Amino acid sequence: MALQVGDKAPNFTLFNTEKKEISLSDFAGKNVVILFFPLAFTSVCTAELCEMRDNIATYSNLNAEILGISVDSLFTLDKFKAEQSLPFNLLSDFNKEISTAYGSIYENFVLGMKGVSKRSAFVVDANGTIQYAEVLESAGDVPNFVAVKEALASL
Looking at the DSSP bridge assignments, the partners of residue 117 are 105
Question: Is beta strand 105-108 parallel, antiparallel or unpaired with respect to 114-117?
Answer: antiparallel
Instruction: Please say if 45 is a catalytic residue.
Output: yes
One DSSP character per residue, 92-151 reads E-TT-HHHHHTT-EEEE-GGG-EEEEPPEEEEE-TTSBEEEEEE-S-TT----HHHHHHH
Q: Which residues contact 114 (CB under 8 A, 6 or more apart)?
A: 106, 107, 108
Query: Quick check: 114 and 107 in contact, CB under 8 A?
Result: yes
User: Which is catalytic among the residues 32, 40, 45, 67?
Assistant: 45
Query: Quick check: 48 and 119 in contact, CB under 8 A?
Result: yes
Catalytically annotated residues: 45
